């Protein structure tokens, strides 16, 4: 269980991650995972990060639910649900060291994608929603990270900012709820994970409240680069630590 300095560092990470996610509807795990994984095993990190994300997504979706256009993300959701059992199985059987390295590499790859502001051409096709939904769900259920993959599809559909937030929050909520059914029946959810989630929830709520205050005031470009810098730094720290251990 997190305590002392470890808990303080984790609370700061969750606060920052929650502020990022409360603003753009994804990114919490990208900030939190590389910090928590310094203190906890990878499976616990995925469960805790996903628990925190579900709590935050409820708040986000309630705020923007009127902007949801379900028909536009139908393929995304179908693909996401299909990938859930595979992602949970991968989390359950994969070696912890492999998970840590995979998380680090994915953080750097997605951080680079965000930094370049690249638009993936295939994402413009509405029929590609199933592919992006499948890949995003596979990543978030097994590694807790994958939000930018879903975001890449939604952004390419040229949705308004509020519609994009509604689309992403609904997609993630549906995917995570389905995933937790499998997390529970496979024994991945432990009492310690639940306790740690409870300890970190106050920082989650505080970050969300700050996000609500700044979402319409902050310079979007500056905020984006600060958030991406934190994401890439976290991925580098995680990989360097794992290389040293090896």
Query: Which of 55, 58, 18, 23 is CA-nearest to residue 35?
Result: 18
pLDDT of residue 33: 85
Q: What is the pLDDT of residue 238?
A: 63
- Per-run averaged pLDDT (10 residues), the chain, 246 residues: 92 92 76 87 90 88 84 89 92 78 73 62 66 86 77 73 82 92 92 95 94 74 64 69 66
Question: Left (φ > 0), alpha (ψ -120 to 50) or beta: where does 94 sit?
Answer: beta
Distances from the Cα of 16 to the Cα of 7, 13, 115, 183, 223, angstroms: 14, 5, 18, 26, 12
**Per-residue confidence (pLDDT) for residue 20, from 0 to 100:** 83
Predicted local confidence at residue 237, as pLDDT: 67
pTM of the model as a whole? 0.77
36 contact partners, CB below 8 Å, separation of at least 6: 10, 13, 44, 45, 48, 49
Q: What is the pLDDT of residue 167?
A: 87
Rounded to whole angstroms, the Cα distance separating 81 from 176 reads: 9
Residue spans of beta strands (DSSP E) within 180-227 = none
């Amino acid at each position: 269980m997190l305590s002392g300095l470890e808990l303080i560092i984790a609370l700061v990470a969750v606060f920052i991650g929650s502020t990022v996610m409360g603003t753009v509807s994804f990114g919490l795990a990208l900030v939190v995972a590389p910090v928590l994984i310094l203190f906890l095993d990878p499976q616990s990190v995925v469960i805790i990060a996903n628990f925190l994300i579900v709590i935050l997504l409820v708040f986000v979706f309630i705020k923007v639910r009127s902007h949801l256009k379900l028909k536009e993300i139908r393929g995304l959701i179908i693909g996401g649900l299909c990938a859930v059992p595979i992602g949970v199985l991968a989390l359950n059987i994969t070696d912890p060291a492999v998970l840590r390295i995979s998380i680090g590499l994915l953080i750097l790859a997605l951080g680079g994608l965000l930094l370049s502001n690249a638009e993936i051409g295939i994402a413009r096709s509405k029929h590609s929603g199933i592919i992006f939904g499948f890949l995003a769900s596979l990543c978030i259920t097994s590694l807790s990270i994958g939000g930018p993959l879903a975001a890449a599809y939604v952004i390419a559909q040229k949705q308004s900012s509020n519609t994009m937030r509604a689309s992403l929050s609904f997609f993630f909520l549906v995917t995570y709820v389905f995933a937790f059914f499998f997390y529970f029946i496979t024994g991945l959810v432990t009492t310690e994970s639940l306790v740690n989630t409870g300890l970190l929830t106050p920082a989650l709520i505080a970050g969300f409240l700050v996000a609500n205050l700044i979402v319409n005031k902050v310079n979007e470009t500056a905020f984006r680069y600060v958030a991406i810098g934190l994401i890439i730094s976290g991925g580098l720290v995680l990989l360097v630590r794992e290389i040293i251990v090896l």
